[in-house]
A and B are shown apart, each in its own frame.
Chain A
Amino acid sequence: MSTFWFDGHEVPFRPGATIGAALLASGIRSWRTTRGQGRPRGVFCGIGVCFDCLATVDGRPNQRACLTPARDGMDVRSQEGTGHGEFAG
């Protein structure tokens, strides 16, 4: 089965699955913390509207896990706040 990387762990996925679906299927429910209070977030609407399930994918922050198809070897990272830590400080 194909896999992608999630914070350094291999996550399997079926062809056509989104990152969000694969993470949920692996029992991972949250991969982002909110900007204000650092609260955990994962899939909420599941259809690309709510922007709650954001993740950093191959270095690009703010990608919607529920819409982004998983690809073999992809590097998915959980995201803190805006995901633009490179601008902070």
Chain B
Amino acid sequence: MPEVLGPVGGRQSGERTVRGVSASPDVVIIGAGMVGAACASYAARAGLTVTVVDRGPIVAGSTGAGEGNILVSDKEPGPELELALLSQRLWTELGEELDPASFELEPKGGLVVAETLDGLRSLYDLAIVQGARGVRTMAVDAESLPHYEPHLAPDLAGGVHYPQDLQVQPMLAAACLLRDARAHGAQVRTGVEVTGARRDSNGRLAALLTNVGPIPTESVVNATGTWGGEVSARLGAPVPVLPRRGFVLVTEPLPRLIRHKVYAAEYVANVASSEEGLETSAVVEGTDSGTVLIGASRERVGFDRTLSVPVLQRLAAQATRLFPMLASVSAIRAYRGFRPYCPDHLPVIGADPRVPGVYHACGHEGAGIGLSAATGHLIAAALAGKEPEIAVSAFSPLRFVEEAA
């Protein structure tokens, strides 16, 4: 039985004609994960009538399987860094408007560390070009590392501190923005699977077809993350989004030992790489509840959810290399998820001219939580016919069509 969550404190009678969905919402957002929630919040705040649908429960996909990173540190200069900087600013604003404790928004800052002088030199080179784009960076020499993280291995070459990096609890953050959207009149309906799109005689979107019936609307947003490829195909506007599996290892709760998001310099290279095989690099951070999260692995194995002990062993070994004290700490569980990646590692954001009325907001790979706020902001602007805050051509859904042609 699909669950219906009406507007918070809003009217719930009269406007319902199609089983719990208002007769003809301005926009239907497909996907109740972090990106869908951000799109819903910004669109509802812009005064649009919004319905969010999801085939499962809320935050059941990659939103519930990550670490909640809002990073500028791991982005090389380019369109994604601009998106990350906008998102960082918007998340900070959201933290001021909403209750930041309710989704564990923490301006913890990132600390990227290098094992070798060569690695440190590359790290500094990256920091310089990032700095030119407005990223705040601070070089940290080996002697100063313990001031940032007293438990780091003593033989590291140095690092870079990124004070703008934030962390959230992603499931709580998505729930918080869905609540905010509902407070602005949006509806959230779970258990609704998209089956197709009905178009009018001009080819424009007329209704979203679902397993519980058609929802008449002029606009839909494909915010289905790793499943964005399949859903876009059903909408008649396919974009290539594929899964890249990652594991996160969770320790028993500890006193607060690790204060920043700490990761090894190789992480930046792994994020940008297109390797098929397994790649791992240490990403270590403490959480509010005391557990330490240890990532990050990347491999292209489709939607295979099999637990891989060798991957977890590599993660544990790399984390212990950075923080030797973790060797005496027990790992109590692990989880995995699928990052939605596009061939060029950039998300797909914006209107798809092949089916007027269809918008995409997916393919954010491992950065969907961080980039969600900017994505929602851009989508709301596009729906309202406003100029985007930053250049969006690099995120165009048509870039794959042109490549194929």
Contacts from A to B (Cβ < 8 Å): 35, 51, 61-62, 81-82, 84-85, 87-88
Contacts and interface: CB of A to CB of B under 8 A. Distances in A.
A45 to B, nearest CB: 15
A82 B257 CA distance: 12
A38 B242 CA distance: 46
B257 A35 contact: no
B255 A84 contact: yes
B254 interface: yes
A87 B325 contact: yes
B257 A87 contact: yes
A35 B253 contact: yes
Of residues A35, A51, A84, which shows the largest number of chain B Cβ atoms within 10 Å of its Cβ?
A84
14 contacts: A35-B253, A51-B332, A61-B252, A82-B252, A82-B254, A82-B290, A84-B252, A84-B254, A84-B255, A84-B329, A85-B255, A87-B254, A87-B325, A88-B255
Interface string B151-193: 1000000000000000000000000000000000000000000
Interface string B244-255: 000000001111
A35 B290 contact: yes
A62 to B, nearest CB: 5
A87 B255 CA distance: 7
Interface in B332-352: 332
A62 B255 contact: no
Contacts of A82: 252-255, 290
Contacts of A84: 252, 254-255, 329
A87 B252 CA distance: 13
Nearest to A63: B330
A81 B253 CA distance: 9
A74 B356 CA distance: 72
A34 B32 CA distance: 34
Nearest to A62: B252
Interface residues of B, number: 11
Contacts of B252: 61-62, 82, 84
A35 B288 CA distance: 12
A59 to B, nearest CB: 10
A85 B255 CA distance: 8
Nearest to B253: A82
Contacts of B255: 81-82, 84-85, 87-88
Nearest to A84: B254
A82 B255 CA distance: 7
A34 to B, nearest CB: 10
A84 B325 CA distance: 11
Contacts of A87: 151, 254-255, 257, 325
B179 to A, nearest CB: 25
A51 B333 CA distance: 12
B333 to A, nearest CB: 10
Nearest to A54: B252
Contacts of B151: 87
Contacts of A88: 255
Contacts of A81: 255
B148 to A, nearest CB: 17
A79 to B, nearest CB: 11
Nearest to A60: B330
A85 B257 CA distance: 11
A51 B330 CA distance: 13
B261 to A, nearest CB: 19
Nearest to B151: A87
Contacts of B253: 35, 82
A39 to B, nearest CB: 15
A81 B255 CA distance: 9
Contacts of B257: 87
Given A62-B252, A84-B252, 18 more contacts: A35-B253, A35-B290, A51-B332, A61-B252, A62-B330, A62-B332, A82-B252, A82-B253, A82-B255, A84-B254, A84-B255, A84-B329, A85-B255, A87-B151, A87-B255, A87-B257, A87-B325, A88-B255
